[in-house]
């Protein structure tokens, strides 16, 4: 088996992975594995922007309070403080790397300051953006820097399968358990290779693809979470899948996001009768926190039997809309919707996983040698519900904190000298069965959408759990007998993440943030009083632990 060694092994080429690679490249040899093209990621699709306190009238305290309020009593205050306070420095990192943000111009058309927009749950304008394609601008710029950097090797089409724990390298190894690297499928050759690093970092992103309808890219299958779980790390809070209220509703497009920034610029949600309904549910109307907007839309659709609601932008200036939201404007137009003239049909979809691999604010997991950063991690920043545009910020802050930790210890660490155990290729292979794989994918995703969606109940969750146990057994069977293929690897991962999400949801005996269960209809109102920074003492993380294989 081909075995390669480096100082820092990063799995994932989204914002978290690229930012860490750039920060570590002066200290050692960095290898990044990316399971498809390096551009394929949630980062590249991010629209709204990045939250940071930049305006004079805003304050860190405001951003902290907004994050805690959205998080419904479950945020970790020290993490929120750390990330919010360093946000302006992380924006400066982006500017130094060459990222552009939209700017405001004065009367003389001189560039004045970075333009700040608003999104749900933010009490001030504090979202830096580049048109409606912030993620693409950030990702494009960092990727260029990475590709130019001689100390970083970026390998596309390399699918990380399972972490290598030192016991797998040498069964007689008496050293403490440590992650030393990963097995990875080279999708071009079909061979499994081993990559060993002094430190291994999971930056594999989210798991929207566990659900039938999602805003996420097609590879958001929770691979890092499933890998960490199989290796014995603790996984936390998977019941908190955030549903974005507004994805385009069109038979040919169910995963295109209609950014919350449209509501930040005056967009109004209306139902099929043309009624602006959000004020019935929350004083902030269409700009209420995401969980409330998504649940209200779900309720309106169920009440009327309509397939969608609408986002009305027609009262805004048409030229402003075309300039401020060029990608959304042209995407809608492709489907025959001119958003300057007609309300946009929208529905909620799975968007962001607040839970993940349990880490501290620098990405350290339970397993020495293994870090997890970005959406795949659960630091406690988001608690039970993420504040809009805090996740790109989290990627940057975690990459920065992780680089400090790694920078301090890299010189004292050694990359594993033993070669890992050979990969065992199953003998059986039947390509006709690929259709079964896609049926199982579809079954899991539909099951999660129908039974583990915006509104849950114990009965629905139990039904989902029962069905998932059977599917998991079938998936295991396929995995161990089938020729290795990325579709099976992803199926195995979504089956595990779906099952863990249901287990977490069943263990939470309350409704909180984005987890809403009809059997516990009381939603605790966690009022954060002026100047007080606290979480709800009754709120607990839901933590799952798996022993080493």
Nearer to ligand FAD, 260 or 499 (CB): 260
Residue 166 site contact among ligand SIN, ligand FAD, none (CB < 5 to 8 Å, cut-off depends on kind) = none
**Cα-to-chain-centroid distance, residue 90:** 19
E strands present in 75-202: 103-105, 111-114, 116-117, 127-128, 152-155, 158-165, 179-186, 192-202
Structure tokens at 546: 């798996």
Among 47, 67, 362, 517, binds ligand FAD (CB under 6 A): 47
CB 175 within 8 A of CB 166: yes
Comparing CA positions, the residue from 67, 62, 53, 39 lying closest to residue 157 is: 39
For helices 134-148 and 391-409, give the axis angle rounded to 10 degrees: 20
Instruction: Decide if residue 259 touches ligand SIN (CB under 6 A).
Output: yes
Q: Which of 118, 230, 234, 290 is catalytic?
A: 290
Q: Which of 44, 2, 73, 51 is nearest to 141 (CA)?
A: 44
Binding status of residue 260 toward ligand SIN by CB under 6 A:
yes
Binding to ligand SIN (CB under 6 A) within 187-246 occurs at none
389 is a site residue for ligand SIN (CB under 6 A): yes
Q: Indicate whether 391 belongs to the interface with ligand FAD (CB under 6 A).
A: yes
State the nearest-atom distance from the C-beta of 219 to ligand FAD, in Å: 5
Q: How far is the CB of 457 from ligand FAD (least distance, A)?
A: 27
40: contact with ligand FAD by CB under 6 A: yes
Q: How many CA atoms lie within 13 A of 177 on its CB side?
A: 14
Least distance between ligand FAD and beta carbon 38 (Å)? 6
Using the rule CB under 6 A, is 321 a contact of ligand SIN? no
Give Cα separations from 407 to 179, 185, 410, 416 (angstroms): 18, 29, 6, 18
375/288 Cα distance (integer angstroms): 23
Q: Which two tokens stand for residue 58?
A: 């805003």
Q: 357: helix, coil or strand?
A: strand
For ligand FAD, the closer CB: 244 or 460:
244
Residue 290 falls in the annotated catalytic set: yes
> How far is it, in rounded angstroms, from Cα 531 to Cα 58?
15
Q: Does 385 bind ligand SIN (CB under 6 A)?
A: no
- Does 197 bind ligand FAD (CB under 6 A)? Our answer is no
Q: Does 388 bind ligand SIN (CB under 6 A)?
A: yes
The yes or no reply on residue 246 touching ligand FAD (CB under 6 A) is: no
Which residue ranges make up the site for ligand SIN (CB under 6 A)? 47-48, 259-261, 352, 388-389, 391
Enzyme catalytic residues: 290
Which residue ranges make up the site for ligand FAD (CB under 6 A)? 11-17, 33-36, 40-43, 45-50, 134-135, 159-160, 203-206, 215-216, 219, 223, 257, 352, 374-376, 389-392, 395
């Amino acid at each position: 088996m081909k075995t390669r060694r480096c100082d820092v092994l990063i799995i994932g080429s989204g914002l978290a992975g690229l930012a860490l690679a750039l920060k570590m490249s002066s200290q050692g040899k960095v290898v990044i594995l990316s399971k498809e093209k390096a551009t394929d990621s949630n980062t590249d699709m991010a629209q709204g922007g990045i939250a940071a306190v930049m305006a004079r009238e805003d304050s860190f305290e405001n951003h902290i309070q907004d994050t805690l309020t959205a998080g419904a009593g479950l945020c970790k205050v020290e993490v929120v403080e750390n990330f919010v306070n360093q946000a302006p420095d992380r924006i400066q990192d982006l500017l130094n790397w060459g990222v552009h943000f939209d700017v405001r111009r004065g009367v003389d058309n001189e560039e004045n300051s970075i333009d700040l927009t608003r999104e749900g749950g933010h009490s001030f304008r504090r979202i830096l953006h580049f048109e409606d394609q912030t993620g693409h601008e950030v990702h494009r710029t960092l990727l260029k820097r990475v590709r130019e950097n001689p100390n970083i090797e970026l390998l596309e089409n390399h699918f990380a399968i399972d972490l290598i724990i030192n016991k797998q390298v040498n069964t007689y190894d008496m050293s403490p358990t440590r992650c030393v690297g990963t097995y990875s499928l080279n999708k071009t050759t079909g061979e499994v290779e081993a990559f060993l690093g002094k430190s291994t970092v999971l930056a594999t992103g989210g798991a929207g693809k566990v659900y039938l309808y999602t805003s996420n890219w097609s590879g958001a299958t929770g691979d890092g979470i499933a890998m960490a779980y199989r290796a014995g790390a603790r996984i936390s809070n998977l019941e908190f899948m955030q549903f974005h209220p507004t994805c385009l509703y069109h038979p040919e497009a169910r995963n295109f996001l209609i950014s919350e920034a449209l509501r930040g610029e005056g967009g109004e949600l209306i139902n099929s009768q043309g009624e602006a309904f959000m004020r019935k549910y929350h004083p902030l109307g269409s700009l209420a926190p995401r969980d409330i907007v998504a649940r209200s839309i779900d309720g309106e659709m169920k009440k009327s039997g309509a397939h969608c609601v609408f986002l009305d932008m027609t009262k805004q200036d048409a030229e402003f809309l075309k300039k401020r939201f060029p990608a959304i404007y042209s995407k809608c137009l492709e489907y025959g919707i001119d958003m300057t003239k007609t309300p946009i049909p929208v529905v909620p979809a799975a968007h962001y996983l607040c839970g993940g691999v349990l880490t501290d604010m620098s990405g350290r997991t339970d397993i020495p040698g293994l870090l997890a950063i970005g959406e795949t991690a659960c630091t406690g920043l988001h608690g039970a519900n993420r504040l809009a545009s805090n996740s790109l910020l989290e990627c940057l802050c975690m990459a920065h904190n992780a680089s400090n930790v790694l920078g301090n210890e890299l010189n004292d660490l050694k990359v594993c000298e033993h070669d890992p155990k050979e990969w065992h290729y199953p003998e059986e292979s039947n390509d006709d069965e690929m259709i079964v794989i896609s049926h199982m994918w579809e079954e899991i995703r539909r099951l999660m959408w129908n039974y583990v969606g915006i509104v849950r109940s114990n009965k629905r969750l139990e039904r989902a759990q029962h069905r998932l146990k059977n599917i998991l057994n079938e998936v295991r069977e396929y995995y161990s007998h089938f020729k290795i293929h990325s579709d099976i690897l992803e199926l195995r991962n979504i089956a595990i993440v779906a099952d863990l999400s249901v287990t977490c949801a069943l263990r939470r005996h309350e409704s909180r943030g984005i987890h809403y269960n009809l059997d516990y209809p009381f939603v605790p109102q966690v009022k954060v009083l002026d100047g007080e920074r606290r979480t709800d003492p009754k709120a607990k993380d839901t933590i799952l632990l798996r022993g080493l294989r």
